[in-house]
């Protein structure tokens, strides 16, 4: 089934979506109409729909998420306990925050690369920043507005196909990166030289390779997004404080803070019929713990309703994020939002080094985007092995990983309002973060470039990186079905992979699922090497919730092959434990009904 499924997908390579009357690609395609329940999605991004279409054609509706949403698909795989950080042959991969940006199917992989077939994929995913947010290069046409890094009005004056060229990845010190062909132009600043230079990507690579030479991209002015007349539903500074120090997962709206200055700011920015009241426990007010309540005649809490509309209500700490509407709000509102977040969860040391920390990886990336859109730079890193204490918990207790937005350089604004933090702010021009650290060849690909009207001849590409007006990182072919080769690790690599329950079993690089280092569909290296498969690394035992996975299925199938009357369904329940105990007793093993490494190896002896 796996080979037939990937063959069906690969057979669609070369298919493209339609064009609107003005010549832009419009997401109209056949796959939505031919997939029951997804007819409505015609005209929407269709990468997940493409996979659902193929699954339906193969009769795999129960083995694949039948959805047009990447986020919903990721959630489906997780709920099925069929999710892994390793590539799976014939399985989907997901890109972007929480896997919500794009998906495709792996038809081969090796130690460093996955080879994929993808629908709704441009030959390159180059972003171009416009007054309404990022748009893909292939969507743009002459006359469209774009963002000028120096804050001047700018429009596209020309779109020029360039054919197939070598494409490189340009990476800055803060981890941000963009892709461009070898002839693309970059305006750069070089230490010790007064005037900026314009160089090609290959010339940039030569400069970066010189020992001791520091090459930087230009500083970005705060981005002025196009605004509507409709006001934001929650005052931005208040929203930043609530996301940082608020409790929004149910049982009322809570806020935890002891700073009199912040508490006064909350009172000032609450809606007129809402107020801050102490949280009472055991008939006593809990220090630093507050509830935000509605005091209107009709009762109710309007803030909770607005948080629900924004998708934030019910979010636990690790699932918090910044609503898209606020990320493209006006400069003043975005700064207020950042100041609320930084006053709540940010820090600044005596030397002016600024950091933001959260257990939500998505929130950390959103804060990084917010900083960059305001003309700053920042890097995101994860810290494992975190412990915490509190007045009620004096002993060091393990906590979730901390996602840290570090090296926050803000040349234009003070990111704090809280006096004790704001007075330590030191303006920095983000020179460290803007340094180009590498230029690496990726692949040959169809590219195009654009010309812009701004006097600077600059525009903004991925990760808020200013670049010159020939961005050779798009395609005139439009969105369609493509084969791709993607790096398994590093910037732009997959968020994770789904594990389809193919009848023939699972082939994956995951050590718990066989640990096959390289594989390809159509019968090539799709079964484990002869001998005992590697122990999956977890003990199979009866527990709540019940263990489920391909390691269980593999062991059950092996026991059935040996003649034991066992149902191979991938669930380790009492019946599996009974068979395990009988097998252990027959072979002189310790009888405990648990499949550990000794029992696992014995099953294949």
CATH of the domain at 302: 3.10.28.10
Q: Are residues 237 and 417 in contact, defined by beta-carbon separation less than 8 angstroms?
A: yes
Residue 514 lies in a domain: no
Q: Are 86 and 99 in the same domain? A: yes
| 3-state class (DSSP) for residue 102 | strand
User: Which neighbouring-strand residues pair with 72?
Assistant: none
Residue 143 lies in a domain: yes
Residue 224 lies in a domain: no
Can you tell me the distance from the alpha carbon of 180 to that of 442, in angstroms, rounded to the nearest whole number? 10
Q: Are 317 and 271 in the same domain? A: yes
What is the domain extent for residue 568? 535-603
Give the model's pLDDT for residue 463.
92
Give the model's pLDDT for residue 164.
58
Q: Are 269 and 287 in the same domain? A: yes
Can you tell me the distance from the alpha carbon of 476 to that of 450, in angstroms, rounded to the nearest whole number? 12
Residue 451 lies in a domain: yes
Can you tell me the distance from the alpha carbon of 353 to that of 376, in angstroms, rounded to the nearest whole number? 13
Give the model's pLDDT for residue 523.
38
State the number of CA atoms in the 13 A half-sphere of 189 facing the CB.
14
Residue 585 lies in a domain: yes
Alpha helices (runs of H) in 408-549, residue ranges in sequence order: 419-422
Q: What distance lies between CA 102 and its chain's CA centroid? A: 10
Q: Are 89 and 175 in the same domain? A: no
Q: How many CB atoms lie within 10 A of CB 314?
A: 11
Can you tell me the distance from the alpha carbon of 99 to that of 494, in angstroms, rounded to the nearest whole number? 8
What CATH number did the domain enclosing 146 receive?
2.170.16.10
Give the model's pLDDT for residue 439.
92
Buried b / exposed e over 245-278, threshold 16 CB at 10 Å, is bbbbeeeebbbebebeebbebbeebbbeebeeee
Q: How many CB atoms lie within 10 A of CB 173?
A: 19
How confident is the model over 284-325, as pLDDT tens digits?
A: 777 888 999 887 666 678 899 999 999 999 989 989 999 999
Name the stretches of the chain with pLDDT < 50. Answer: 23, 121-123, 471-478, 523-530
Q: Are 146 and 206 in the same domain? A: yes
Q: What distance lies between CA 392 and its chain's CA centroid? A: 35
Secondary structure letter of residue 5 according to DSSP: H
Phi-psi sector, 549: left (phi>0), alpha (psi -120 to 50), beta: left
Q: Do the bridges between strand 274-281 and strand 284-294 make them parallel or antiparallel, or are there none, so unpaired?
A: antiparallel
Can you tell me the distance from the alpha carbon of 540 to that of 549, in angstroms, rounded to the nearest whole number? 10
Residue 33 lies in a domain: yes
Kindly list the distances between the CA atom of residue 600 and the CA atoms of 280, 535, 546, in Å, as whole numbers in the listed order. Answer: 54, 6, 19
Q: Are 560 and 493 in the same domain? A: no
Q: Are 156 and 256 in the same domain? A: no
Q: Are 66 and 20 in the same domain? A: yes
Q: Are 403 and 260 in the same domain? A: yes
Q: Are 417 and 372 in the same domain? A: yes
Residue 230 lies in a domain: no
Kindly list the distances between the CA atom of residue 112 and the CA atoms of 85, 124, 175, 482, in Å, as whole numbers in the listed order. Answer: 14, 19, 20, 20
What CATH number did the domain enclosing 575 receive?
1.10.101.10
Q: Are 113 and 139 in the same domain? A: no
Buried b / exposed e over 337-366, threshold 16 CB at 10 Å, is bbbbbbbbbbebeeeeebbbbbbbbbbbbb
Q: Report the number of distinct structural domains present in the chain.
A: 4
Residue 530 lies in a domain: no
What CATH number did the domain enclosing 20 receive?
3.90.1720
SS3 per residue for 175-237:
CCEEEEECCCEEEEEECCCCCCEEEEHHHHHHHHHCCCCCEECCCCCCCCCCCCCCCCCCCHH
Q: Are 379 and 443 in the same domain? A: no
Give the model's pLDDT for residue 52.
95
């Amino acid at each position: 089934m796996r080979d037939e499924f990937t063959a069906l997908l690969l057979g669609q390579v070369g298919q493209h979506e339609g064009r609107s009357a003005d010549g832009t690609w419009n997401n109209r395609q056949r796959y939505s109409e031919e997939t029951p329940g997804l007819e409505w999605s015609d005209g929407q991004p269709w990468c997940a729909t493409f996979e659902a279409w193929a699954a339906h054609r193969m009769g795999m509706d129960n083995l694949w998420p039948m959805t047009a949403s990447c986020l919903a698909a990721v959630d489906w795989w997780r709920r099925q306990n069929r999710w892994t950080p390793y590539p799976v042959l014939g399985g989907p991969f997901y890109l972007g925050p929480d896997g919500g940006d794009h998906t495709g199917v792996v038809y081969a992989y090796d130690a460093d690369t996955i080879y994929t077939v993808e629908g709704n994929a441009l030959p390159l995913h180059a972003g171009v920043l416009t007054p309404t947010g990022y748009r893909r290069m292939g969507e743009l046409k002459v006359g469209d507005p774009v963002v000028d890094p120096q804050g001047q009005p700018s429009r596209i004056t020309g779109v020029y196909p360039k054919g197939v060229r070598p494409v490189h990845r340009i990476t800055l010190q803060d981890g941000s990166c963009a892709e461009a062909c070898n002839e693309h132009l970059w305006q750069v600043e070089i230490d010790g030289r007064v005037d900026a230079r314009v160089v090609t990507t290959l010339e940039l690579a030569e400069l970066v390779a010189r020992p001791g030479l520091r090459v930087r991209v230009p500083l970005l002015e705060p981005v002025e997004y196009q605004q509507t007349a409709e006001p934001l539903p929650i005052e931005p500074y208040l929203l930043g404080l609530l996301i940082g120090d608020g409790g929004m997962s149910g049982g009322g709206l809570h806020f935890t803070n002891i700073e009199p200055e912040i508490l006064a700011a909350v009172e000032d920015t609450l809606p007129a019929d809402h107020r801050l009241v102490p949280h009472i426990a055991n008939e006593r007010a809990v220090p630093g713990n507050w509830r935000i309540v509605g005091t209107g005649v009709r009762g109710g809490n309007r803030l909770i309703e607005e948080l629900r509309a924004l998708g934030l209500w019910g979010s636990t700490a690790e699932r918090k994020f910044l609503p898209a509407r606020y990320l493209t709000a006006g400069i003043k509102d975005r700064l207020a939002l950042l100041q609320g977040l930084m006053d709540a969860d940010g820090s600044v040391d005596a030397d002016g080094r600024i950091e933001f920390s959260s257990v939500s990886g998505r929130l950390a990336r959103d804060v990084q985007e917010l900083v960059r859109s305001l003309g700053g730079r920042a890097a995101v890193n994860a810290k494992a092995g975190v412990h915490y204490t509190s007045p009620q918990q004096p002993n060091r207790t393990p906590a979730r990983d901390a996602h840290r937005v570090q090296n926050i350089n803000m040349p234009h604004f003070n990111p704090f309002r809280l006096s004790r933090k704001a007075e330590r702010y030191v303006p920095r021009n983000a020179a460290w973060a803007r340094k180009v650290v590498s230029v690496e060849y990726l692949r040959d690909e169809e590219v195009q470039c654009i010309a812009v009207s701004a006097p600077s001849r600059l525009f903004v590409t991925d990760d808020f990186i200013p670049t010159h007006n020939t961005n050779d990182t798009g395609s005139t072919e439009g969105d369609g079905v493509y084969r791709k080769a993607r790096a398994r690790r590093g910037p732009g690599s997959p968020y994770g992979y789904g594990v389809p329950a193919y009848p023939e079993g699972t082939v994956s690089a995951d050590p718990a699922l066989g640990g096959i280092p390289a594989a390809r569909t159509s019968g090539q290296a799709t079964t484990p090497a002869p001998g005992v498969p590697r122990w999956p690394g977890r003990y199979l035992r009866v527990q709540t919730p019940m263990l489920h996975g391909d390691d269980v299925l593999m062991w059950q199938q092996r026991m059935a092959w040996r003649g034991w009357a066992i149902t191979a369904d991938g669930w380790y329940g009492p019946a599996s434990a009974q068979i395990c105990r009988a097998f252990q007793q027959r072979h002189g093993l310790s009888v405990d009904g648990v499949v550990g490494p000794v029992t696992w190896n014995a099953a294949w002896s």
